[in-house]
Structures are given as C-alpha cells and as structure tokens.
C-alpha cells in the first residue's frame, strides 16, 4: 500500500464525531424565548451575584457607579421579595453537605 | 474573558441577538462574528490580535499559492507554511525553554555562556490557533478542501471565539464548509446546547474548583507533608479535576457554537473507562489526538512496519507532550504515554480489546486508569524533582489522611462512576428536556445556572488548558 493510500484510508476511516449531530432541532423563535426567560430567571434569582459583579466594576466611573447603584436597588427589591434566598439556601445546603463528617 | 462569568454572559447574549438578527445577511453575519471574536481575544491582550491576524493572513495566502501549484512546488509551499507556523509557535512557547536547556548543557560541558532570556509573554491559545492554521494549509494540500477559503472565512475560522483559546481543535475541512451557506434558523440544536453548557458550568465552577482548592493544590505544592493516602487522593483528584476542567471548556464551546448555528467535533468520550492506551487516546482530547494522528503520525509514515510504527508513535507522543508546554515533565508525560502505546501494540496486538473476555476488559480498565493517573503526576508537578518527590511519598503508607472527608470521597466516587454511564446519556436527558415548552426550558436552565454559581466558590480560576 502506498503512503498516500494509507493516508486516505486512515482519514476516511474516522471522521470527527459531532456531539450535536443527533440532537433535536429547534426554531429560532423558541430558542429566543427560552434564552429570554433564562435571563429573566437569572436576574430574579441571582441578584446577589449580580451585585457582586457590579461592585467589582471600576469605581469612580459613570457606568460602574450607575450599574452598582442599580444592582444594589435590584438586590434590595429581590431580598424584600425573598427571591435572593434561593441562592443563599442552596449555598448553605451545599456547605453543610461539604462539612459532613 | 472566561466562560463562567457575568461578562461572558452579557457578551454572548449580545452576540447571539446580533448574529441571529443578521441571519438573512450572511456576509455581514460573518463580519460580525469575526469582529466580536477579535474583541473576545482582545480582553486578554489586544496586542496579540495582530498575531492572530498575521497567522490568518499568512496561512490564507499560502493556501491560495498551494491551490494554484502542482508537484514539488506544492510540497515546498505547504512545508513553508507549516515552518512559518512552527517558528512563530516556537518563538513564543519554546524560546526560553530552549535557551535554558542550552545554558544547562553548556554548563555541563564546562563552557559558561549565560545566554540572556527574553521577556516573552505567551499568547493565550497560540497552540490551538497554530494547529487550526496548519490544518488549513494541509487540508488544501491534501485536497480535503475543494478550494481556498475567502479571506473573511479564514479570519473567522482562526479566531472564532468559542474554540479560540482552548479548542476543541476544529479542522478546516470540518468548519469552513459550514461558513459557505447561511445557517438555518429552524435548525438550532438548542436543548442539547443547554445541557452541554449547564454540564460544563457544573464541572468547572463546582467540581473542578473544589478539587483544585481542597485536594490537589495543597498536596502538589508540598507533597513531602502528606502521606500515601493523601497523595493517592490528590492524584485521583487531579485526574478528575483536569478532566472536568478541560471537558467543561469544550462542552461549553460546543454548546455556544451550536446556539450560533455551528457544529464542533466531540472532544471527550468518558476517557477513564478506556480499556488500554489506544482506547484512552480515542476518548481523551479527541480533537488533538486525531489531529496528531492525521497531521503528524501518518505523514511520518504511520503504520508502515512494526519498528517504524513504534518510532512514529514515540515521536508523536513526545511532541504531543511538548505541545502542552515547554518543560521536561511534559516531555516525560508524552514519553510514558508513547512507551505504553508501543508496549500495547507490541505485546497485545492491534485488536486485543475486541476479543478480550469481560474480566480482562475490567482489569484493563483498572490498570489503564492507574497508569494514566501515574502519568498525571508528571503533568501536574511543577518540575521533575517535585514529581519524583511525589512518587517517593507513596512509601509513607502509615501516615493518616488529612484530606479524606466523606464529601471528597463521595465526589470522587460519583465522578468515577459517571464515566460508566450510558454513552447516549446526553440524548436520553435531551428526550426529557425537549418535552418541556421553551419557556419552561429557559426557566429551568436559568434556575440551574444560578444554583451552580451559588454552590461554587467565589472567583473562578482560569481553565487549565489556557496555559497551553
């Protein structure tokens, strides 16, 4: 067998396998809906993380200060509605699991 | 910009929206994706965007020349392109390693010539985009591509942000044809993408971070302070940490690309269930091992004759080791893998796993995993003396474990057991998820994302493979 024949045989033999090859297709409309809802849910339940992120932005800049104030107000509202407890509850439960002796 | 950050979340939502708004304007969509990929790369160091541009344009031009040439000129051109790529990679990645080795050699020979080092910053992802570039010129040379790509397609292929800094290594002949036609807005593999992204986030944010900080880093930093049980725990911990860390990156990359309408190849296939080393390398970093096979091992001569095969295997694995980094411990890691592959070919033959009895397969899986773990010590240790000190520490068998908590043992056991889940586990999960309406899918995905970030430690370490 010539070297080029070896190359051809080996390369044709194993093509890259795609993970998403056998997956179900979805139309753009439903994908946009699901991503939109995911973002809203993350805003509602992840206000503490959002505040941490905003507080990490450079202080003293207009954008940084504005986002930080907005995130603080948002987190206060979500805390008032008890939605911020979701993340806190999970964090505590996971911590307790880690500390099992 | 790391995947598991708010910054990337905002970046991706904006890119997703803009890219699908431009779905009827194919050329503008590609321009947008190329531009945002350069912005993504500039978050690390904007100066290296010029290196990315240089690599893309030079290889694109070589591709044009190779396509128009015949015979010997064609061979010389592809050799020239690969040489340029390797010189750039070698300068940034191996220059100081080469000088260090040269200085040591000169000192041993009694000639003290301290050649000064250069202050070189390693561009993130250079090993990956160099392999993409080589793939392009070689695929044109081998006529795996019908024609050279337009410059815009080449710029996007080299810089496409999901795979830019840590793979998977997507071949030109696999990705460029996807850019020739507009993506279909009715064919987005979204549910599978959500599962990949959520799974990747869990593996990185929760599992990899925990194993790194609680088990692996303390032990590898000072192996002399720990007994055999903790050393063993750290080795198993690192085997799972690097798997979770790297497969997390590629799973997220595949998911992100799928949401934009593109398909990437699989990169991991439950590697720790491998029966033997041939099987391991068909499951671990598949895009690199298959790249090395097709672009290095086969051009070296491949399987033509036993001894030539063994020599080619050793060369391929040694270079595969050095691809990870300019250090002797990576060369040793690659060398051991090469040696074990040669031994498997020599003593067990090519198809031994197909005819082996069940108990032999089980034994093969156990032995392969232990040997792979042994090689990880060289891969993870900061240098060779640390690796040897680590291995020497296994003699301290009577020392009590200080790291083995119930949580750590449960986590490691569950992760190892997960290697033996059905191979179509993702499809099974997807069949359940797809029954939910899109709004419910989004709500569950959003809640799970928050859950993952809630239980993970604050602050995300960079992915391990960013350093390569």
Return the domain boundaries, chain A.
27-98
pLDDT 10s digits, B389-446: 899 999 988 888 888 889 999 999 999 999 999 888 888 899 999 999 999 999 999 9
Distance from the B410 Cα atom to the nearest Cα atom in chain A, whole angstroms: 10
Name the A residues in 23-82 with CB < 8 Å from any B CB: 23-28, 30-42, 45-46, 49-50, 52-53
B266–A18: do the CB atoms touch at under 8 Å?
A: yes
Rg (CA), chain A: 24
Q: How many CB pairs under 8 A join A and B?
A: 167
Range of weakest confidence among B103-117, B176-190, B304-318: B103-117
Distance from the B453 Cα atom to the nearest Cα atom in chain A, whole angstroms: 8
Name the residue ranges covered by the structural domains of chain B. 6-179, 190-275+356-455
Task: Using CB atoms, pick whichever of B188, B298, B455 lies closest to residue A25.
Answer: B188
Q: Is the pLDDT of residue B238 over 50?
A: yes
pLDDT reported for residue A6: 44
Q: Is the pLDDT of residue A3 over 70?
A: no
Give this prediction's pTM: 0.89
Task: Please tell me the total number of residues recorded for chain B in this structure.
Answer: 468
The residues, ordered by sequence, that sit 6+ positions from B264 with a Cβ below 8 Å of its Cβ are A18, A19, B162, B163, B168, B170, B175, B250, B253, B254, B257, B258
Distance CA B437, CA B435 (A): 7
**pLDDT average, residue stretch B210-221:** 91
Q: Is the pLDDT of residue B181 over 70?
A: yes
Would you say the ipTM is above 0.85? no
Range of weakest confidence among B35-39, B129-133, B319-323, B438-442: B319-323
Half-sphere exposure of residue A79, counting CA atoms within 13 Å on the CB side?
A: 11
Residue among B75, B451, B457 with most chain A CBs within 10 A, to mutate: B451
For the purposes of burial, counting CB atoms within 10 Å of the CB of B63, is it exposed (0-12), middle (13-18) or buried (19 or more)?
buried
Closest to B298 (Cα-Cα) out of A58, A13, A62, A21: A13
A20–B263: do the CB atoms touch at under 8 Å?
A: yes
Q: Is the pLDDT of residue B257 over 90?
A: yes
Distance from the A5 Cα atom to the nearest Cα atom in chain B, whole angstroms: 11
pLDDT 10s digits, B351-364: 788 788 889 889 99
A37–B446: do the CB atoms touch at under 8 Å?
A: yes
Q: Is the pLDDT of residue B31 over 80?
A: yes
Which residues in chain A are contacts of B7 at CB distance < 8 A? Answer: 53
Whole-number mean pLDDT of chain B? 90
Q: How many CB atoms lie within 10 A of CB B202?
A: 21
pLDDT 10s digits, B322-334: 888 778 889 999 9
Residue in chain A nearest B408 by alpha carbon: A98
């Amino acid at each position: 067998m010539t070297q080029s024949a070896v190359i051809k045989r080996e390369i044709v033999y194993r093509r890259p396998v795609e993970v998403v090859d056998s997956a179900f297709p979805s139309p753009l409309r439903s994908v946009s809906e699901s991503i939109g809802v995911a973002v809203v849910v993350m805003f509602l339940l992840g206000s503490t993380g959002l505040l941490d992120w905003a507080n990490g932005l450079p202080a003293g800049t207009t954008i940084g200060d504005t986002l930080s104030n907005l995130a603080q107000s948002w987190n206060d509202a979500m805390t008032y509605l008890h939605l911020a407890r979701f993340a806190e509850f999970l964090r505590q439960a996971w911590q307790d699991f880690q500390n099992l002796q | 910009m790391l995947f598991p950050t708010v910054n990337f979340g905002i970046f991706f939502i904006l890119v997703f929206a803009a890219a699908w708004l431009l779905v009827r304007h194919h050329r503008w969509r590609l321009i947008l994706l190329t531009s945002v990929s350069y912005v993504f790369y500039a978050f690390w160091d904007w100066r290296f965007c010029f290196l990315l541009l240089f690599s893309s344009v030079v290889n694109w031009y070589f591709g044009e020349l190779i396509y128009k040439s015949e015979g010997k000129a064609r061979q010389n051109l592809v050799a020239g392109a690969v040489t340029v790529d390797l010189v750039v990679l070698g300068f940034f990645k191996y220059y100081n390693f080469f000088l260090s080795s040269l200085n040591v050699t000169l000192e041993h020979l009694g000639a003290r010539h301290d050649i000064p080092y250069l202050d070189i910053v390693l561009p993130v992802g250079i090993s990956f985009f160099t392999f993409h570039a080589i793939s392009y010129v070689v695929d044109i040379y081998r006529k795996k591509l019908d024609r050279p790509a337009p410059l815009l397609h080449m710029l996007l292929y080299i810089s496409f942000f999901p795979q830019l800094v840590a793979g998977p290594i997507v071949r030109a002949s696999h990705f460029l044809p996807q850019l020739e036609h507009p993506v279909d807005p009715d064919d987005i593999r979204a549910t599978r993408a959500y599962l990949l992204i959520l799974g990747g986030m869990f593996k990185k944010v929760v599992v990899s971070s925990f194993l790194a900080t609680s088990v692996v880093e303390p032990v590898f930093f000072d192996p002399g302070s720990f007994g055999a049980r903790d050393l063993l725990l750290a080795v198993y911990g690192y085997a799972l940490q690097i798997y979770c860390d790297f497969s997390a990156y590629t799973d997220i990359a595949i998911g992100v690309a799928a949401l934009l309408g593109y398909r990437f190849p699989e990169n991991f296939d439950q590697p720790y269930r491998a029966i033997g080393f041939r099987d391991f390398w068909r499951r671990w970093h598949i895009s690199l091992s298959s790249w090395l096979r097709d672009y290095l091992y086969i051009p070296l001569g491949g399987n033509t004759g036993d001894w030539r095969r063994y020599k080619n295997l050793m060369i391929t694995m040694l270079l595969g080791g050095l691809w990870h980094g300019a250090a002797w411990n990576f060369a040793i890691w690659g060398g051991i893998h090469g040696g074990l592959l040669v031994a498997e070919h020599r003593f067990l033959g090519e198809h031994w796993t197909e005819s082996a009895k069940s108990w032999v397969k089980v034994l093969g899986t156990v032995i392969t995993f232990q040997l792979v773990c042994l090689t990880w010590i060289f891969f993870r240790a900061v240098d060779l003396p640390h690796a040897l000190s680590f291995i020497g520490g296994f003699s301290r068998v009577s020392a009590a474990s200080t790291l083995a908590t119930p949580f750590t043992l449960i986590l490691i056991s569950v992760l190892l057991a997960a290697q033996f889940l059905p191979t179509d586990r993702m499809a099974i999960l997807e069949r359940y998820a797809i029954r939910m309406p899109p709004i419910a899918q989004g709500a569950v995905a959003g809640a799970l994302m928050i859950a993952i970030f809630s239980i993970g430690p604050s602050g995300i370490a960079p992915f391990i493979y960013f350093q390569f």
